[in-house]
Chain A
Amino acid sequence: MKPTAYLIIIACAGLLVGCATAPPAELINARQAYQQASAGQAAQLVPAELHKAQEALAIAEQAFRDDPKSFRTRDLAYIADRKAKMAEALATTVAENATTAKANKDYQATQAEIVKKTKEDLAASERSAALKTEQLATANAEAQRVKESTDAEARRIKDSTDAEARRVKQQTDANAEAQRVKESTDAEARRIKDSTDAEARRLAEQKSRDTLIVLVKGTTVVLRGVNFEFNKATLTRDSEIILWRAYNAMVGNPNVRVVITGHTDNVGSQEFNQTLSLKRAQTVKNWLVQKGIASNRMRTVGRGQNEPMSSNETDAGRAENRRIEFFVQ
């Protein structure tokens, strides 16, 4: 092999060794920083800064090719790394500023939205208030109308009630007066009637006492003046005058027999009056027996209220119906 070939091989080897020299750490960092910055938002937001970083990196690369191990190469690579980081930082700043600007814009838009909403709420409130005012006015008018109607109706009812009260009072006063007059009249009538009846009874009894009892067979004699205590079979004192006359008639007519019959008015029950009339007839018979009249000449019967002589509607009639009769045989 010629010496020239050796020289060429050595030169190529030297060149290969030179090319294979490892880049300094600063350059490696600069490459990574630039790659990271260019992949991020710096290319869009701060292209000029990214371009500066690119130029700085190119200078560092050139220096590395020219003199790989010099301090100048490391320093240029270091600066390129910082330029790339600077581009990335500025991109972040721009993005943050954009965010701030958007937020401020949103703030203003929100304020405008609030103002708009407030105005709408205020308008709605005003409409609502107006509607309520109108409804209140309508309600008040209706209430006033109802009140006036109610008052008028109340006045009408009151007037009607007062008139009715006055009419009732007048009627009541008239009725009371009529009642008072009636009671007075009735009392006077009763007083007159009682007086008349008493006088009639007195005259009848007087007549009876003054009349002789005549016993004729086949006839009925009413022993007027024979009276009993109320609801009892006990003779009154005045009755004995009449019974003595009956005794005299029985003594004067020893051949006659009599059926002593008791009668009552219609006051009380039928059964009570039936018993009472029989007891009264037996009382008369017992009185005569005690005086000496033979018991077998007398038989007693009670007719109760079944055979009235007069009307039971008046005191005089009822007095006539309460009686003792002798039926002569």
Chain B
Amino acid sequence: MRHVTIARLAGSVLFAAVIAGCASSPAINKEASTSAIRAAEEAGATKVPSASLYLQLAKEELENAKGLAAKGDKDQAESMLSRAEADAELAVALSRGDADKTEAAQAIERVRQLRKDNQLPQERK
């Protein structure tokens, strides 16, 4: 009789745990990936073709992570968040690289125009 009671108690506890598990997904830290995505957007990734691709991937991966977390697969969700963070950071780097490339081209053009306006020979590259 006592064994039956313990078995019923353990079953109740396990049931409660399962209910609790189904009621709320495991917590995951999305801070790093969302911050990286926001930084990419602020860096103008949406306007840079090469960067916008990775920004889009990062967003999709973030959504995937949320989905995995909702399914209770915390490890895979966090791993997916690492993907999103990596893609977002790459989008930031490519956006800034594009801006730097534009700035470099403009700087070279300024020099060329200055030399032209003052009738100086163009320097060889």
B75, B101, B107, B118: the one contacting A92 at CB < 8 Å is B101
- Residues in B with CB closer than 8 Å to A104 are 107
A152 to B90 Cα, complex, angstroms: 97
What's the tally of chain A residues with a CB closer than 8 Å to chain B? 26
A113 to B108 Cα, complex, angstroms: 17
Interface: A110 (CB within 8 A): yes
Interface residues of B in 97-125 (CB under 8 A from A): 97, 100-101, 103-104, 107-108, 110-111, 114-115, 118, 120, 123
A89 to B75 Cα, complex, angstroms: 30
Contact with A along B71-113 (1 / 0, CB 8 A): 0000110011011001101100110110011011001101100
- Residues in A with CB closer than 8 Å to B76 are 71
What's the tally of chain B residues with a CB closer than 8 Å to chain A? 28
Q: How far is the CB of A153 from chain B (nearest CB, A)?
A: 53
Q: Is the CB of B97 within 8 A of A93?
A: yes
Using CB atoms, name the residue of chain A closest to B78: A75
Q: Is the CB of A96 within 8 A of B86?
A: no
Q: Is the CB of B89 within 8 A of A103?
A: no
- Residues in B with CB closer than 8 Å to A247 are none
- Residues in B with CB closer than 8 Å to A130 are none
Using CB atoms, name the residue of chain B closest to A74: B79
- Could you pull out 9 A-B pairs where Cβ atoms are within 8 angstroms? A71-B76, A71-B79, A79-B82, A82-B89, A89-B90, A89-B93, A90-B97, A97-B100, A99-B107
Not counting A82-B90, A86-B90, A89-B93, a sample of 17 additional A-B residue pairs whose C-beta atoms are within 8 angstroms of each other reads A72-B75, A75-B79, A75-B82, A75-B83, A78-B83, A82-B83, A82-B86, A82-B87, A96-B101, A103-B104, A103-B110, A104-B107, A107-B111, A110-B111, A111-B114, A114-B118, A117-B118
Residues of A in contact with B (beta carbons under 8 Å apart): 71-72, 75, 78-79, 82-83, 85-86, 89-90, 92-93, 96-97, 99-100, 103-104, 106-107, 110-111, 113-114, 117
When A and B form their complex, which 10 residue pairs have the shortest distance between CB atoms, in order from nearest? Answer: A103-B107, A82-B86, A96-B100, A99-B104, A75-B79, A89-B93, A93-B97, A100-B104, A96-B104, A79-B86
